[in-house]
Structure 1
Amino acid sequence: MLTLGVNIDHVATVRQARRTTEPDPVAAAVLAELGGADGITVHLREDRRHIQERDVRCLRQTVQTHLNLEMAATPEMLAIALEIHPDYVTLVPEKRQEITTEGGLDVVTSQTQLTQIVQELQSQAIPVSLFIDPEPEQIRASQQTTAQWIELHTGTYALTKQEHDRHRELERLTVGAKLAQELGLRVNAGHGLTYQNVYPVACISGMEELNIGHSIISRAVLVGLTQAVRDMKRAMKGEV
């Protein structure tokens, strides 16, 4: 059954804007789980622009579903992940100047480095997912790293305005998911998904989890986080 991972980074974004103690991402995780979240996702960035190490440590102690730690493939982040031991890690590209993640990892050109990190994490029973664009060469390279999952980058699909272009991007995601499963990879997806565009992605055969943050947190400002998560679960079923 398709599950929902709720990314709570932007709860911390609001907190860090004033360098205060609220809103608390840990409290947000509790409310998200009460609303039906199947997992909690956080991205510990190298510049610590939102989520902090303390948040991740507290979340590790309080999350009742599963904790997905998004992180760059660096020695610093590897050490943190090995210490905190999240339920799984998603390796993502990271540039300090970007507003949000702009695309998938280039696994093809970084395969040796990524393989080392993947194998070190998985040797400590921390499964790894690679955040990639739905390109066959990236999917095949991901399988070669021995990562158990990929997370397909849905940002291009989400930002496409023209209907025929959106259908083309959805087909890329569908074909990519099928290839990944044929190669023995498990498939998640995320980035830019909203209440309006999530259902077609949710219908892709074999999709296991969608990781969604900004749209849910935006709605939560108006209706509360628990309700916003419930609404997204309904949207994933095509009920809104």
Structure 2
Amino acid sequence: MIKLGVNVDHVATIRQARMTFEPDPVTAAGLADLGGADVITIHLREDRRHIQERDLELMHDTVFTKLNLEMATSREIVDIALKIKPGQITLVPEKRQEITTEGGLSVASQKQMLTDIVKKFKDNDIYVSLFIDPDKEQITASREVGAQSIELHTGRYANAQREEERTELLQTLSKSVKIAKGEGLRVNAGHGLTYKNTGPIVEHLDIEELHIGHSIVSRAIFVGIETAVREMKELIYKHFMIKQNL
């Protein structure tokens, strides 16, 4: 069964819009736990536009499930992660001007730097994943730098307008999963996934975790985060059972 990672960054985005104390992403993480989340994901950005260091510290102490910290490779953030020691870190590219992460990490172009960083985390018993595009070169490079898993960027699939394009991109993702497993990597996926487009991902990709944020937080405005998470879990289960019967 595919596990659900819930990203609560956008709860903090609303809080930071008024620079106040609510809504609290730590509370959101707890309610997501109760709704059945298997992983809680947060991104501590260099510009601190949403999640703050205090949020990370509190979630590390209170989240029942695995805490996955998305992060850039800057020395400051690496040092924070080594101090807090979340259950998992996912290295992602980061641009200050972007609204959200726009693409996968270019592992192949910075192998030595990433090898050193990955080793630091593994030496401190922190599990390491890399957020990458579904590209063979990047997958192979991820294994070479010592990553234990990858998270495939599903943004192009999520944004595709034509059915033919979605089908083609789904096939690319499926091939990338097979390549990664052949390299000995565990595989997750995420970015831009919603209640409408997650089903085919579940049915066609042999992956371990799906990481979803914006769509769940958006749904939570109307039904509450615990219910929104539970509904996504039910959707994943439904399509997982369809897959089993294919």
What range is the shorter-chain TM-score in? over 0.9
> What is the deviation of 1:202?
1.5
SS in 1 for 2:70: strand
Q: What TM-score comes out, normalization by structure 1 length?
A: 0.98
Partner of 1:53: 53
Partner of 2:38: 38
For residues 181-210 of structure 1, give each alpha carbon's deviation from its aligned partner in whole angstroms, at most 9, with x where no partner exists: 011000000000000000111124430000
For residues 89-127 of structure 1, give each alpha carbon's deviation from its aligned partner in whole angstroms, at most 9, with x where no partner exists: 000000000000000001110111111101110111001
Partner of 1:217: 217
Q: What TM-score comes out, normalization by structure 2 length?
A: 0.96
Aligned residue pairs: how many? Answer: 239
- Structure 2 residue ranges without an equivalent (≥5): 240-246
SS in 1 for 2:16: helix
Partner of 1:64: 64
- Structure 1 residue ranges without an equivalent (≥5): none
CA contact (8 A) 1:181 1:206 kept: no
Q: Does 1:90 align with 2:90?
A: yes
CA contact (8 A) 2:173 2:205 kept: no
Runs of 4+ with >4 A deviation: none
Aligned partners of 2:23, 2:204: CA distance in 1, in Å? Answer: 35
Q: Does 1:134 align with 2:121?
A: no
Partner of 2:200: 200
Aligned partners of 1:110, 1:64: CA distance in 2, in Å? Answer: 34
For residues 192-239 of structure 1, give each alpha carbon's deviation from its aligned partner in whole angstroms, at most 9, with x where no partner exists: 000000011112443000000000000000010011001111221346
- Matched to 2:112, the amino acid is T
Partner of 2:76: 76
Aligned partners of 2:66, 2:237: CA distance in 1, in Å? Answer: 22
SS in 2 for 1:237: helix
CA contact (8 A) 2:67 2:88 kept: yes
> What is the deviation of 1:3?
0.2
**RMSD in angstroms over aligned alpha carbons?**
0.8
